[in-house]
Structure 1
């Protein structure tokens, strides 16, 4: 999947802003200084920095950034009224593509060693580079419910209490989980509201006595029965468990993440016990010349953290180049 140019994109106030033109795949040079894989906050920031360092850069973007699914973020600095994920992504992309960045919309399939550098391939093209940055991110594992995207856009289905716990103060909040991670998330949310209920996919029997005791001591309810169904209706979510139903103002999903490390693992890059890419303080992976930034490389999944990682990685790449 490739595209010759970037489409018109919405600005923060809803007006359209014209993005800079992305380079056609046929016009790509055979080899560049750096390839950035991933067009989210980390990848776009890294590409911007590298271009401003006067490095030749190819940005490969599958157009699947997690940022595009955020209805509105209120903890990204500089936007007092918050900013939608799509608008922020559009602004970052427009800024990056004002510089000589070769941008291709494509799903990368392979990353292989080529001499002292790398060759990156997709369905109908490839390019070589001395260094590669992976900013491939993660995907949230959604709950089994109809109209997941609509619930997410309405702000009643949520994934990140660090991002938006403030928005659920004193509301009725549910947490859906399939393991001990749900206990930690429920306890975290208890700081924002006393009305927290934990729903385990297989019922409370999936938790040991110590976990249930921690929930009880914190005043968190735990549904005994397995989840039978979840539905979004009139800006609330109803969870059916056994013969009972519980209505929540917001439902947090703690079913885990799909961490996109497959390309790095093609090269033998090391991952940690949680599945994230291992990086050093400069964002270098365990494979020389391969770097990583954003959600694929660390557990604090925040926009600002991803952008900082992209800047740090690009700066270190420039020095090595």
Structure 2
């Protein structure tokens, strides 16, 4: 800790992005704090084969555990708390932490948001958390290869749902159904689905059949539909509220817009991972984190006021 009690950086979020940023900054000999709200989306991943170096696949919980163990070698452990408020003051930020211990404040010259996002769960009978439980997958980029040639169902509607169903049909299997949960498709979207061989089921879901760690059958419109793999494409809730409260630029979904150094439009405020607009992948999140942490290190001695609108400073 600096003599004035102000950290070099506060990292909010301890998923793959936050843990990577903490590792880089610890190895840069920076004074940091890492806050973990305990809700990393990566923890929902049963197994991914899209993460380099693990040919046999690796689960999200193991990725996080290995990262935490690595970070512990440098004397850094995540602080379990929720950051309920973030204020910008001259020369530093003030974060309000709420957790098991009394509410306290942390001051840091720069803040990195690695707060991620959370999938919107499909409204299924008696199964409110199917995505979090791993009964429904949420990333065909990560594991669609394992579903090649299978019967695949995609929960979704509108451009996002149809787009993901077409992605699966083009990439992995020709047996794809789009389950719209009672939402109608436009005639144009119906035509697009037909062009790619995507079957559309618009009836609401009436009942489910769960076998082991997957939903094997769905009853909709009085008919039973059986699937090998199900995906949800209902969108995300981006955890960007802290940045939005400071006026950070964002897209229509709330995802933050950053420059090549992962700076937001708020001077001194960085963002990495799924909270940033772009491709939601672990390796991308880690790349964001490495970029942001290095820029934070290179500018620690400079006042944040020298970073107008988040533009690069050399």
Q: CA offset at residue 294 of structure 1?
A: 0.2
Structure 2 residue corresponding to 1:225, chosen from 193, 197, 203: 203
1:39 and 2:14 correspond: yes
Structure 2 residue corresponding to 1:308, chosen from 280, 287, 309: 287
1:199 and 2:179 correspond: yes
1:114 and 1:128 in contact (8 A); partners too: no
Q: CA offset at residue 156 of structure 1?
A: 4.6
Q: CA offset at residue 180 of structure 1?
A: 2.2
Q: CA offset at residue 71 of structure 1?
A: 0.5
2:111 and 2:270 in contact (8 A); partners too: yes
Q: Secondary structure at the match of 1:126?
A: strand
**Distance in structure 2 (CA, Å) of the matches to 1:71 and 1:102:** 24
| Match of residue 96 from structure 2 | 121
Q: Which runs of 4+ in 1 moved over 6 A?
A: none
**Distance in structure 2 (CA, Å) of the matches to 1:152 and 1:33:** 34
After TM superposition, the score normalised by the length of structure 1 is: 0.86
| Match of residue 115 from structure 2 | 136
1:200 and 1:227 in contact (8 A); partners too: no
Q: Report Cα offsets for 1:28-56 as digits up to 9, x if no partner.
A: x9321100000001001101111111110
2:131 and 2:138 in contact (8 A); partners too: no
| Match of residue 241 from structure 2 | 262
| Match of residue 66 from structure 1 | 41
**Distance in structure 1 (CA, Å) of the matches to 2:203 and 2:157:** 13
Q: Which moved more, 1:127-136 or 1:237-246?
A: 237-246
| Match of residue 169 from structure 1 | 148
1:133 and 1:293 in contact (8 A); partners too: yes
What does 1:259-298 correspond to in 2, within 5 Å?
A: 259-298=238-277
Q: Report Cα offsets for 1:273-304 as digits up to 9, x if no partner.
A: 33210100110000000000000003311111
1:57 and 2:36 correspond: no
1:156 and 1:237 in contact (8 A); partners too: no
Q: Secondary structure at the match of 2:83?
A: coil
Unaligned runs of 5+ in 2: 301-314
Alignment length, in residue pairs?
292
Q: Secondary structure at the match of 1:175?
A: strand
Unaligned runs of 5+ in 1: 1-28
Q: Report Cα offsets for 1:196-238 as digits up to 9, x if no partner.
A: 00111224xx211111111111111111423334442354432
**Distance in structure 1 (CA, Å) of the matches to 2:60 and 2:92:** 34
Q: Report Cα offsets for 1:113-146 as digits up to 9, x if no partner.
A: 1221100111221110100000000001112234
Q: CA offset at residue 186 of structure 1?
A: 0.5
1:112 and 2:90 correspond: no
**Distance in structure 2 (CA, Å) of the matches to 1:38 and 1:152:** 18
